[in-house]
Chain A
Amino acid sequence: MTYDDTDLIEEAPPSPTERQLRRLMVPRPAAYVAEERLDVINDPDLEQLWRVQP
């Protein structure tokens, strides 16, 4: 562990889980601009739109 177990979140540096996830997900400023947001639905239930042939 690289952090104090009793640190409060708002005072603490990024936790190990946060640091690891940042390797996968590169933060972008656009993420914080409400009018530029994407609503992405991954693996949608396409059967609600089309009949998906097996």
Chain B
Amino acid sequence: MDLVVQSPDELLAAVPHVLGFKPEESIVLVPFGPGLPITRVDLPSSAADREEIWDAISGPYGRHARSGDRLGILCFTDDRRSAELASQHLSSRLETVGITTPIRLWTDGQRWREFNAGATGLQTQATAERVAAATVLSGAAQPASSRASLAASMVGNREPIAQVIPTARAAAAASTPAAERDWALDRLEQFHADGNRFSDADGARMLVALETIATRDELWENMTNLNHASHMAIWNDLTRRAPDEVRAAPASMLGFASWLHGDGAKAWCALDQVPSDRPYSMAAIVASAVQNGIHPREWDRYQSEMRQLAGELDESFMPKRPEQQGNLPRTRPMTDRPAPDR
């Protein structure tokens, strides 16, 4: 990609392309190099809010920070005073974990000011268009006009599938959970291969199949760092089209795939599509991963542990000589912390 940020104006114009939407009344933390995440939070307006923001982000940044790491603090708001106070507070707190902030930038969409050096300038449409053109050439999707419009993109016409859900339920009742699970896995693999949108009948059958925990878990565990884009596509489509009664599962799957993709904002928007009157424990787990800034590589670690555990269990079923009995594989005790309902 040819784009090289050379000015605050260009940096401010580039941020929406990385976030996927244009931030409003927000602080965005932008790393200068690999290793740290980008984070967007709502702009705090009081001292207590500023401390709460630090409490929320200190985990992810404290975990990932290395000596010499640098961040830019970008404030998108009309309230310049709150931006200055919030960026100063964050800057001093980040220093305590070894992160310096050479740039503290504020913009109201028209002007910008860099608080550290006192430099000022204009945010121009020409720069925004030049940055947008560069990202188009790189093949990146254009950002949504706001976080709300990103969320709205997950709501489609839900009536067609709602009309065929009763038929899908009747067919599932006449089938067996194992047969429906096998069908769902085969259908998922077909989607991975051809990417074709589900018919209403297939969509309804998949959504009904997901209501069985074992089936949902097998589809969930199918997600990897190699196929999460395909999973995002299928669950985004089914979240858009699923009526309330069957939307919790695809929305949670979309949330998880989005987190695996590294996109926390999209993950939140997906979780907001879980009907609020239907507590759903998978959604609670995805929410925790996103809120805590857990890195997607943890999923790799989880899958590796499961493969290892499966291997140990296989071995444990092998007959052993008496002298080997003391070396039986042991698994770590499981701490099963309860998740709050949402």
A: residues with CB less than 8 A from B are 1, 3, 5-10, 12, 14-32, 34-52
Docked pose: A6 CA to B287 CA in angstroms: 26
For the complex, what is the distance from the CA of A23 to the CA of B294, rounded to whole Å?
Answer: 12
Which chain A residue shows the least CB distance to B268?
Answer: A37
A9 neighbours in B (Cβ, 8 Å): 210-213, 216, 248-249, 280, 282
Residue B162 lies at the interface, judged by CB distance under 8 Å to chain A: no
- Which residues of chain B have a CB within 8 Å of any CB of chain A? 1, 3-5, 11, 14-15, 17-19, 30-34, 37-42, 52, 56-57, 60, 135, 138, 140, 147, 177-178, 210-214, 216-217, 220-221, 248-249, 262-265, 268, 272, 278-282, 284-285, 287-296, 298, 301-302, 305-306, 334-340, 342
**B292 close to A41 (CB less than 8 A):** no
Are A28 and B285 within 8 A (Cβ)?
A: no
The A-B contact count (CB < 8 A) is 184
Residue of A nearest to B333 (CB): A23
- Neighbour of B302 across the interface among A5, A20, A45, CB < 8 A: A20
In the complex, the answer to whether B293 meets A38 with C-beta atoms within 8 Å is yes
Which residue from chain B places its CB closest to the CB of A43 in the assembled complex? B262
Minimum CB–CB distance from A35 to chain B (whole Å) comes to 6
A-B contact pairs, 26 of them (CB 8 A): A5-B178, A5-B212, A7-B212, A9-B212, A15-B213, A16-B217, A17-B221, A20-B302, A20-B305, A25-B289, A25-B298, A27-B284, A27-B339, A28-B288, A31-B287, A34-B272, A35-B42, A38-B56, A39-B264, A40-B293, A41-B38, A44-B37, A44-B262, A47-B3, A48-B14, A51-B5
